[in-house]
Structure 1
Amino acid sequence: MAGVVLETLSWRKLITLGVFLLILQIVFFVIGAVIAPAPTHVISMTATKCLDRNAYRDKNKWFPPRGKYACESLQSLDPNDRKIQEEGITAEQVVFSFWLPWPRDGHQLKMHRYFQFLLAVLQLDIEHDPQVPIVDKAKLQMDIRLAAGNEQDNGNWTLLASSVEDRNIECDLKKKMDKGDIYDCDLLQLFELGNVYYHYYLVNIRLPTFPLKGINMEIGKIVDMHMHGIHQNGGFSFVWFSMKTAMFPMVLGILIWFWRRITQMCRPANLLERTLFALGIVMTILNCPIEWFTLAFDIPFMLLLNDIRQGVFYAMLLSFWIIFTGEHIMDQTERNRLSLYWKHLTAVVFGCICMFVFEMCERGIQLKNPFFSVWTTTTGTNLALAFIILAGIAACCYFLFLCYMVVCVFKTISAKRMTLPSMSSLRRRFYMGLIYRFKFLMLVTLFCSAMTVIFFIISLLSEGQWKWGDEDLNVQYTSGFFTGVYGMWNVYIFGLLSMYAPSHKTVVEVDADENSQEESVQLTQLPSSSLPSETSALQAFVSKTAQD
């Protein structure tokens, strides 16, 4: 019976393959830690307070803070300001304007399509004034308009979205304040774009007041606004795209080779082989560098599409680990049936479906209204935080359960290992080599699962820190960790496809004694009913006690 490459490959070739994969893993980490910049960058800017003398009469008019068509700006919003008193300026005539990106050293910078996404949050400067009260969780209503333009548009702006949005202002009102002090308030979610196609982005915000309806009343004395724009670093994007471009043909090639080995066998593919092949397909889809198209085309759904690909990969990887360890427990239960794992896989699929629904409720709706966010209400924020916490707990529980399954595998092998002393020295050394190789592979699997769980949790926290209004949380992961984990997935799957492909060798020959006589170690033949599931010599050994 043919084994797998992991069992029949010579130690020299196996070590060579291992060293190659280790070097590849180190290269991934070094690329992120040394070459690539930080994954994201934050642009912070202060609003320009523009004066709209017509107050809503021309709704199509834009108020850029600078340039040829710069608006008429106000230096202060203090009611006692001379200009405001003389001209009778009202809140409806004030437009808070932001132009992304902010100029540097007197030069107007441009956004680049490598930035991939743009998340904007708002920070309010609310001054304490006993005559202008602020209540806890005051409702702020904003009339927001978002436009985009390119360098060659000559000051013409294209409307991307407009909406009237409500946000809850949450400030620390218990702290003792003097007149003129600024309240400590949480950040407010503003908008999120799934791609950065234009050079410039213009945001105009109005705070209309309607006393009879109670709109924008008791929100305190807003004296200024600041916006923080978060986008992916262009240099990191280039490194990321290049890595995916390099790994795509590499994993695709080994996947085709693996399946050709399967089809050459005189038996159908077993459950482990089918699952590994499916994992290779999902990894290839994740590696496909479709992000290059964003440099030429406006693809607003690219961020959502990448999240869906990532979620499918998580689901397949977690399912594979369950089946991979389960197929090697090799207890009295008949394996090689997907139905045996329905409880474990149902839990994984259910969790991934919940992630998909959450993703569609956030970024799916943002395709139509970029100002929408589940974090804008107290209920939505609590649900989102509960989702993040439960997802982190579920990931930790999954890892602990996987550790339990690996321990069961090791116990099974250790119990069968008691039969080795009754064998000849050649057969004993043969099976001992298989056990050492397999145990090392299982430890690598545990390490990969641990890093995946850590990466998943940190990604959730890092993405949510700006949305739940805690900019001081400062959850970050370096580019080296990001590229290292991504490289680890590719190296791990590449190694599994290489080592778990059916071997063309059916007999392993070793030296019998010092006189270089050879003895053929024939793998134990099992009944034909279990043959399709037994491609591994180790499985055959553990499933049935070897007889010398």
Structure 2
Amino acid sequence: MAGAIIENMSTKKLVVLGLTVLIFQVLSVLVGGLIAPSPTSAIHYLATKCVRRHRGGGGGGGWLMPWGSSRCQRIRSFDDTLAKTLDANDIVFAVHVPLPNKEMSPWFQFMLVVLQFDIAFKMLNQIGKNGATITIDAGLAYRDDVLSNWTTKFHSVEKRQLSCMLMVPKTFENEGRFYVCDPVPFIELGSVAHKYYLINLRLPVNDIVNTGIGEIKDIHLVGIHQNGGFTKVWISMKTAFSPWIFVTTAWYWRRISLMTRPPVLIEKMIFALGISMTFLNVPVEWLSLGFEWTWMLLFEDFQQGVFYATLFCFWIIFCGEHLMDQSQRNRLSAYWWQVGLVVFGSLLLLIFDLTERGGHLSNPFHSVWASPFGTKCAITFIIMAGISVCLYFLSLCCMVGCVFRNIGGKVQQLPAMSETRRLHYEGIIFRFKFLMLVTLACAAMTVIFFIITQVSEGHWHWGDYTLQVHSGFLTGIYGMWNLYVFTIIFLYAPSHKHKSNKTRDEQKADTLETPESQETQLTRFQHVPTETYRITGKVAEE
């Protein structure tokens, strides 16, 4: 074979390819920024205080509607005359999702609900410095038309940690002032398969339950779901990219299989990168529109984890295969330390995800952050995964530095070579530098887009056009990594020019190649078991 495509492409063709990729990158940003709405919507609900005379859980004894023809008996505040005759266990907080005259849709993909408590300070029932534990008897029901009865979906008694702060001194004069409390995670649904949802929750009170939590005046709920318009754009992009990357990966492996030698490690990693990108692109969301697949969020996290783990391993192996003084090329075991860090960090995040979102499959009220022990375990897992990532990038930076130092030393030897050999090695050096520049550009764009989404208001106005920054960020990053993988696969595929098409000088150079000349090579897409390399004055067999 005549090497990779990038070694045989003319400068003109390479520039055309670069401009084409850049145009597609801009389009992927504009599709999200100009066509798609904001990725998510947050709807605020004020829980209605309903009266239930008999004891029971949030999902037992019938469901209480906050409004409509069958609305419950309500009280406006706990200072009402009726409220003073009731026990705290007789109050049920009811919330209908969505708001009146609206309905939910499978296009929303998921639904998260968090609680926000309005808690007044009382000297005899104040929240301690370390917070408090609140017990919630909660139930969730659904129906698909306004005339049918509510069907119980989940019912559970959960505990949550309250983290509140009083901004004034705790004195009798300040009784009635409200605490500033952090939002409390409540529900996570991985599928929005029904049109209407009803939440009933109760705060049971006795001598040991819900004591020291202040005086709760109101409960606010914030429902967060993905916008249907954004979902349509996102699935359309996945549907377009999926066959493109799949065909490119299949084409690449066909070219590899046509070669007279077995594939080397770097070629296998490029193929694995294409497979992981194809796996990420599979538009399973189309099927989730017709089925209640509550595991979709977990599956999407798994898709992303597989891709990023493969990408990190590819970077390490690509750099390692270009270390000219490394004797054990073409062996995955030579990278056990760096690959081990990637696998270890990925497993930690997978375990955390299975614990958190895996628990939602059987109980959407579940949360690992609900208890101090679960919080400590979750934080420990995240910190350990973060340390693994930091060590990985430190190792990657050191490896890239070594490669560039070695390249600098070998470049000085190029003028002494024949023109054919010099051009061959210059092509290999250019290949490596080109990939590093593209990789750095992708990483820089990811960071820049992330910063923009944090400091912006979510959208920019350009005349009559509104650019949704968050949507453009998500579609732009997704398109960028697809284009990055496509570029790597295409440029580093074996060239269609066979050895028979080589010039006489090239064939003669290959025939006369000696171990001494092998020393200057960065990496070869070639597997010769008996090939030797001169390393620090010794001959080591690969």
TM-score by length of 2: 0.86
For 1:391-402, list aligned pairs within 5 A.
Answer: 391-402=385-396
Cα distance in structure 2, aligned partners of 1:198 and 1:174: 42
Asked if 1:224 is matched to 2:218, the reply is: yes
Residue in 2 aligned with 1:124? 117
Taking a change above 3 Å as real, the CA distance of residues 223 and 8 of structure 1, as seen in their structure-2 partners, is same
Taking a change above 3 Å as real, the CA distance of residues 433 and 322 of structure 1, as seen in their structure-2 partners, is closer
Taking a change above 3 Å as real, the CA distance of residues 276 and 34 of structure 1, as seen in their structure-2 partners, is same
Residue in 1 aligned with 2:234? 240
1:162-217: CA deviation from partner (whole Å, max 9, x where unpaired) = 01111122211463262321111121111111111111111100111122xx1112
Asked if 1:24 is matched to 2:24, the reply is: yes
Give the residue type in structure 1 aligned to 2:28: F
Q: Report the more deviating stretch, 384-393 or 93-102.
A: 384-393
For 1:255-270, list aligned pairs within 5 A.
Answer: 255-270=249-264
Residue in 2 aligned with 1:210? 206
Counterpart contact for 1:115–1:233, Cα < 8 Å:
yes
Residue in 1 aligned with 2:357? 363
Residue in 1 aligned with 2:332? 338
1:488-522: CA deviation from partner (whole Å, max 9, x where unpaired) = 21111111111111112246999xxxxxxx98545
Cα distance in structure 1, aligned partners of 2:369 and 2:452: 19
Counterpart contact for 1:508–1:521, Cα < 8 Å:
no
Taking a change above 3 Å as real, the CA distance of residues 348 and 477 of structure 1, as seen in their structure-2 partners, is farther
2:525 maps to which of 512, 516, 535 = 535
For 1:167-178, list aligned pairs within 5 A.
Answer: 167-173=160-166, 175-176=168-169, 178=174
Cα distance in structure 2, aligned partners of 1:449 and 1:121: 33
For 1:439-450, list aligned pairs within 5 A.
Answer: 439-449=433-443
TM-score by length of 1: 0.85
Cα distance in structure 2, aligned partners of 1:45 and 1:242: 32
Counterpart contact for 2:111–2:223, Cα < 8 Å:
yes
Residue in 1 aligned with 2:65? 64
Cα distance in structure 2, aligned partners of 1:458 and 1:347: 30
Question: Could you tell me how far 1:9 is from its partner in structure 2?
Answer: 1.8
1:25-46: CA deviation from partner (whole Å, max 9, x where unpaired) = 1211222222222222211111
Question: Could you tell me how far 1:382 is from its partner in structure 2?
Answer: 3.5
Counterpart contact for 2:132–2:212, Cα < 8 Å:
yes
Taking a change above 3 Å as real, the CA distance of residues 364 and 444 of structure 1, as seen in their structure-2 partners, is same
Give the residue type in structure 2 aligned to 1:53: R
Cα distance in structure 2, aligned partners of 1:17 and 1:27: 15
1:354 maps to which of 345, 348, 352 = 348
Cα distance in structure 1, aligned partners of 2:514 and 2:242: 40
SS at match of 2:412: helix
Counterpart contact for 1:37–1:233, Cα < 8 Å:
yes
Give the residue type in structure 1 aligned to 2:213: I
Taking a change above 3 Å as real, the CA distance of residues 509 and 277 of structure 1, as seen in their structure-2 partners, is closer
Residue in 1 aligned with 2:154? 161
Taking a change above 3 Å as real, the CA distance of residues 112 and 223 of structure 1, as seen in their structure-2 partners, is same
Taking a change above 3 Å as real, the CA distance of residues 322 and 438 of structure 1, as seen in their structure-2 partners, is closer
Q: Report the more deviating stretch, 427-436 or 441-450.
A: 427-436
Counterpart contact for 2:94–2:201, Cα < 8 Å:
yes
Q: Report the more deviating stretch, 324-333 or 334-343.
A: 324-333
Taking a change above 3 Å as real, the CA distance of residues 438 and 347 of structure 1, as seen in their structure-2 partners, is closer
Identity %: 47
Cα distance in structure 2, aligned partners of 1:120 and 1:95: 18
Residue in 1 aligned with 2:461? none
Give the residue type in structure 1 aligned to 2:149: N
The answer for unaligned runs of 5 or more in structure 1 is 463-475, 511-517, 538-542
Cα distance in structure 2, aligned partners of 1:457 and 1:23: 23
For the aligned residues, what is the CA RMSD?
A: 3.1
Asked if 1:492 is matched to 2:484, the reply is: yes
Give the residue type in structure 1 aligned to 2:313: S
Counterpart contact for 1:262–1:502, Cα < 8 Å:
yes
Give the residue type in structure 1 aligned to 2:82: K
Residue in 1 aligned with 2:459? none
Counterpart contact for 1:68–1:155, Cα < 8 Å:
no
Residue in 2 aligned with 1:467? none
Taking a change above 3 Å as real, the CA distance of residues 225 and 508 of structure 1, as seen in their structure-2 partners, is farther
Cα distance in structure 1, aligned partners of 2:13 and 2:500: 15
Aligned length: 507
Question: Could you tell me how far 1:437 is from its partner in structure 2?
Answer: 4.1
Give the residue type in structure 2 aligned to 1:375: W
Give the residue type in structure 1 aligned to 2:183: L
Taking a change above 3 Å as real, the CA distance of residues 433 and 273 of structure 1, as seen in their structure-2 partners, is closer
Taking a change above 3 Å as real, the CA distance of residues 508 and 500 of structure 1, as seen in their structure-2 partners, is farther
Cα distance in structure 1, aligned partners of 2:253 and 2:215: 68
For 1:381-400, list aligned pairs within 5 A.
Answer: 381-400=375-394
Residue in 2 aligned with 1:9? 9
Cα distance in structure 1, aligned partners of 2:330 and 2:426: 25
1:381-432: CA deviation from partner (whole Å, max 9, x where unpaired) = 2333344444445434433332222222222222111122224567645644
1:52-93: CA deviation from partner (whole Å, max 9, x where unpaired) = 133439923001111222111111113xx32234xx211111
Give the residue type in structure 1 aligned to 2:88: A
Cα distance in structure 1, aligned partners of 2:434 and 2:500: 21
Residue in 2 aligned with 1:194? 190
Residue in 2 aligned with 1:466? none
Question: Could you tell me how far 1:225 is from its partner in structure 2?
Answer: 0.2
Question: Could you tell me how far 1:94 is from its partner in structure 2?
Answer: 0.6
Counterpart contact for 2:245–2:274, Cα < 8 Å:
yes
Residue in 2 aligned with 1:469? none
Cα distance in structure 2, aligned partners of 1:375 and 1:415: 54
Counterpart contact for 2:338–2:395, Cα < 8 Å:
no
Give the residue type in structure 2 aligned to 1:116: Q
SS at match of 2:496: coil
